[in-house]
């Protein structure tokens, strides 16, 4: 059967037709028990509600779904370009060469930013009138005309804030569930997504420039002045200047290595949480 934004088989009418009410959030064991009970109680009515309504919905909504298919193909192909990984102009300017190995970090973390600020932002307001008013989402942010161009870091972070505090509840998993009260897998992933997003948008963006922080920039300026406008270790005339250059170069290499190690560690963390990046 086709995918729908809502399913007739999950409606109140379906519950009436079936003779049994579907549970809400529940464990697989609860669903299996309900299915056995519902099919045994009213076999034909169960088929009508869960299978018959599905076939009818597919038939009735076929024209609309085809229009949606066309719209989403255009959206995915030319607007959000979900077939590719892209870097923001802030990190890689269009038209500028960048080696493949240097594209990984900005492309992957830019996609993470888009996931939080576009996808999760939409997810947070899609079914919540109060949230739409709170974040003042435009008319094209939801509904049929949504093109995934509305960006709201605030709404995306609000979604993560809600997700990262989710815990297993007794009415959802039963009193015998061993992890009752603990964070759900969704919450754990949300916390990691928030940490990675914060690192990229704040920590990474505000890291000290290696040339300035190491003293290399100052050394270069001092050396050029002392050597008539030219920069060369061999032309440094004083032990103090040579020592200044050696110290700055050593610190520069250390900072570059530390940054590279940090970048690699964060990329690995992003890869590990990739299955949590969905809406």
Write out the two tokens for 205. 């963006």
264 occurs within a structural domain = yes
- Give the whole-angstrom CA distance, residue 266 versus residue 253: 20
| Mean pLDDT across 250-259 | 98
- Residue 189, pLDDT > 70, answer yes
258 occurs within a structural domain = yes
56 occurs within a structural domain = no
Beta carbons of 106 and 88 less than 8 angstroms apart: yes
44 occurs within a structural domain = no
Q: How many domains does the chain have?
A: 1
63 occurs within a structural domain = no
The pLDDT value given to residue 233: 67
The whole domain housing 252 covers: 207-270
| Mean pLDDT across 246-253 | 96
| Mean pLDDT across 144-165 | 93
- Give the whole-angstrom CA distance, residue 158 versus residue 128: 13
90 occurs within a structural domain = no
Rounded to 10 deg, the angle between the 239-272 and 216-226 helix axes is 150
pTM exceeds 0.85, yes or no:
no
Please indicate whether residue 112 or residue 242 has the higher confidence score (pLDDT).
Answer: 112
Gyration radius of the chain's alpha carbons: 28
157 contacts: CB under 8 Å, gap ≥ 6: 116, 194, 197
Tell me which residue has tokens 């309504």.
53
235 occurs within a structural domain = yes
C-alpha to C-alpha distances, 204 to 214, 261, 266, nearest whole angstrom: 17, 13, 10
- Please count the other Cβ atoms lying within 10 Å of the Cβ belonging to residue 171: 9
Write out the two tokens for 49. 């509600």
Q: What is the pLDDT of residues 39-68, one digit of tens each?
A: 999 999 999 999 999 999 999 999 988 988
221 occurs within a structural domain = yes
- Please count the other Cβ atoms lying within 10 Å of the Cβ belonging to residue 121: 28
Q: What is the pLDDT of residues 78-114, one digit of tens each?
A: 887 788 898 999 999 999 999 999 999 999 999 999 9
């Amino acid at each position: 059967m086709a995918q729908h934004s809502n399913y007739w088989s999950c409606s109140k009418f379906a519950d009436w037709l079936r003779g049994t009410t579907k549970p809400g959030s529940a464990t697989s064991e609860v669903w299996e028990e309900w299915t056995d009970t519902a099919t045994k109680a009213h076999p034909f009515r169960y088929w009508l509600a869960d299978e018959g309504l599905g076939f009818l919905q597919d038939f009735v909504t076929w024209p609309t779904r085809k229009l949606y298919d066309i719209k989403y193909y255009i959206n995915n192909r030319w607007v959000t370009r979900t077939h590719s990984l892209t870097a923001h102009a802030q990190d890689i300017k269009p038209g500028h060469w960048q080696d493949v190995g240097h594209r990984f970090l900005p492309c992957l973390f830019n996609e993470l930013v888009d996931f939080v600020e576009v996808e999760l932002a939409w997810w947070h307001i899609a079914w919540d009138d109060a949230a739409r008013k709170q974040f003042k989402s435009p008319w094209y942010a939801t509904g049929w005309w949504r093109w995934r161009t509305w960006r709201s870091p605030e709404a995306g972070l609000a979604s993560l804030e809600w997700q990262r505090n989710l815990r297993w509840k007794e009415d959802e998993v039963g009193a015998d569930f061993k992890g009752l009260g603990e964070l759900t897998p969704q919450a754990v992933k949300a916390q990691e997504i928030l940490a990675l997003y914060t690192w990229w948008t704040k920590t990474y963006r505000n890291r000290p420039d290696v040339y300035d922080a190491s003293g290399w920039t100052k050394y270069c300026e001092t050396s050029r002045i002392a050597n008539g406008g030219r920069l060369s270790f061999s032309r440094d005339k004083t032990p103090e200047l040579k020592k200044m250059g050696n110290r700055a170069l050593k610190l520069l290499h250390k900072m570059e290595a530390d940054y590279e190690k940090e970048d690699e560690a964060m990329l690995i963390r992003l890869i590990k949480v990739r299955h949590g990046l969905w809406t």
